[in-house]
Structure 1
């Protein structure tokens, strides 16, 4: 009993506690909080980094939220928030009385991350059929906290364009590298996204499982180095526009544009000339970019996509261009 008391007294020393916490992940820190009130107060003084690597949120509706956390030490924890007839539960703990599940979840979420010092590698947020509940959660978010939320890779699933826009505003733009948007619930427009610093500074954009409604020639996407998007309709004029913007950009290295319908494929050689390679499933062009040692590799996958890539001229076949000077954009 005496040795336990001595151990507890040691842990109440902030200098010792700081060294102890350096090697602990968020789950061990939470366990240590439960030793005593004095130890918990000491932890609050030290403000340890929880060292969280990944967070996945599944927000089904106003009755259910799931949060999965992975720490630096490969520890995993799932937290379930569920509304019931008498109140609500958090994992196995039940609480009686009326509740706003969104505020309860956000309080915990803020508490868990408030001392996080390094960017989270991945934040994955998945909505559900009740987008009004997601709107409520976003309304209850504290801009003071979320405006400094450091995330490297962001995955947003089953959300509206408004919700994606609002979530992006909460992310620290200095750390965001990849934006992935999947399976949007409604018609999805990117019209206002170029105004966001988060959009301007991210390096990669992936859009999967749905088509965007913003016209090709209105898209502000050429600050990204890698792009993968889908549109409902694509014309040869759109392809020429993308080819020109791709060549002018100093940033974009690869652009894949998937389409549901290519409106005038029979005119493609009138605009792009004869391809270097033509097969039943795809055609390939090499196009010299003026005033550079780079060229555009354009791959048309029949009835599916156009893929624009940038290569050094020295790395392509000698007979890639229609003439010795090279077909330029």
Structure 2
């Protein structure tokens, strides 16, 4: 039928115009009968992901209504929203990746009184409002478990919002993203949540996540790596006393916070259930080391704890608490081994409190590492002859 139209070379022919109009009407009526009908539309939407669903929504209001009735799963794998700002420039960056691997990045910017998305001008629009609307619409019907959700501030340079004590212009915005997540019919399923904000704002986001699916929590300092190293930016302090009491924290398996210095005391941080932990703390004591050693020996899930610190009260009293080290390279670097009862595994403790500088000559944090190691990796264990030959 469409071939007949294409073969007619005279586009002004009345006959061709009439036939084309009839065919277009029939085609449109057929399409509408499918895309506005929930029964066939359900089968179609089951084959689509977020971006295709969004394109369908722009066709007409009837299709949008049908989609909202069916609530299709957009199959999002990763969602990242970063509130970027310096003293002179503000923008919001959003990155969405789907289960198929397809991805899209969007930049919401304001220049003077004009608003842009990916540098396309949008008259009389609120950047924040549109960003929040997109955030809610995109995740509203997400049912499958995401790989990662990231919500954070990102300071491209040494911003006076942090160093000058100014009010954070995005604090209210980040609170609203937490409220949007809480408005969902069901808690959001994600294996990892990454956050770079204050504890009160983190609580608003993590509490909206399904605790039975969350495996990894990451807290990070929202600075570009270059600026951290170039300006010798010290870690920002953060408390986790409230965060560590949530079900999400208690059920997670991994915790990372390498640039936000946690000020909550280790023994009140509720970390013994984690299998992997890599954090920076404000300070650590000999009693803290003994507490971790004693309790990790009882843990069935523990694999590795790496704790960095700037200040410490670790001294010779540690030898009294946990015993003499197996290797004592100096008063600043030591190694201990402790067998985990009824197993062929040991806990290896490496303590390094030397002053070490990075390539920019800035002091890096000191470190203590607790590692679960098999018996054959312990240097003092004599292996059978046949196992030595295999090794």
TM-score, L = length of structure 1: 0.83
Separation in 2, partners of 1:238, 1:17: 59
| Alignment deviations for residues 100-126 of structure 1 (CA, whole Å, 9 cap, x no partner) | x44432222111111111121111222
Which among 101, 109, 119 is matched to residue 145 of structure 2?
119
Which among 204, 214, 218 is matched to residue 166 of structure 1?
204
Gaps of 5+ in 2: 1-19, 162-166, 223-234, 355-365, 383-391
Residues 211-220 or 49-58, more deviating? 211-220
Residue 101 of structure 2 is matched in structure 1 by 74
Q: CA-atom RMSD, angstroms?
A: 2.9
Do the aligned residues in 1 keep the contact of 2:280 with 2:307 (CA within 8 Å)?
yes
Separation in 2, partners of 1:84, 1:146: 36
Change (3 A) 1:16 1:301: same
Residue 310 of structure 1 is matched in structure 2 by 372
Residue 192 of structure 1 is matched in structure 2 by 242
Change (3 A) 1:84 1:146: farther
> Rg: which structure is higher?
2
Aligned length: 317
Change (3 A) 1:48 1:171: same
Q: How does 1:48-63 map to 2 (within 5 A)?
A: 48-60=72-84, 63=90
Which among 277, 286, 289 is matched to residue 337 of structure 2?
286
Q: Using the TM superposition, give the Cα deviation of residue 268 of structure 1 relative to its aligned residue in structure 2, in angstroms.
A: 4.5
| Alignment deviations for residues 230-281 of structure 1 (CA, whole Å, 9 cap, x no partner) | 1232222221122112223343332111121343445544444443344479
Residue 134 of structure 1 is matched in structure 2 by 170
Change (3 A) 1:223 1:264: closer
Change (3 A) 1:56 1:164: same
Residue 227 of structure 2 is matched in structure 1 by none
Separation in 1, partners of 2:343, 2:98: 45
Do the aligned residues in 2 keep the contact of 1:146 with 1:170 (CA within 8 Å)?
no
Residue 349 of structure 2 is matched in structure 1 by 298
Which among 253, 258, 266 is matched to residue 203 of structure 1?
253
Question: Any idea what SS the aligned residue of 1:187 has?
Answer: strand
Residue 319 of structure 1 is matched in structure 2 by 380
Residue 153 of structure 1 is matched in structure 2 by 192
Query: Are 1:180 and 2:218 matched, yes or no?
Result: yes
Gaps of 5+ in 1: 322-329
Q: Using the TM superposition, give the Cα deviation of residue 168 of structure 1 relative to its aligned residue in structure 2, in angstroms.
A: 1.5
Q: Using the TM superposition, give the Cα deviation of residue 176 of structure 1 relative to its aligned residue in structure 2, in angstroms.
A: 1.0
Residue 324 of structure 1 is matched in structure 2 by none
Residue 327 of structure 1 is matched in structure 2 by none
Question: Any idea what SS the aligned residue of 2:123 has?
Answer: strand
Do the aligned residues in 2 keep the contact of 1:146 with 1:171 (CA within 8 Å)?
no
Which among 113, 116, 124 is matched to residue 96 of structure 1?
124
Q: Using the TM superposition, give the Cα deviation of residue 86 of structure 1 relative to its aligned residue in structure 2, in angstroms.
A: 4.1
Question: Any idea what SS the aligned residue of 2:137 has?
Answer: helix
Q: Using the TM superposition, give the Cα deviation of residue 63 of structure 1 relative to its aligned residue in structure 2, in angstroms.
A: 4.8
TM-score, L = length of structure 2: 0.71
Residues 15-24 or 32-41, more deviating? 32-41
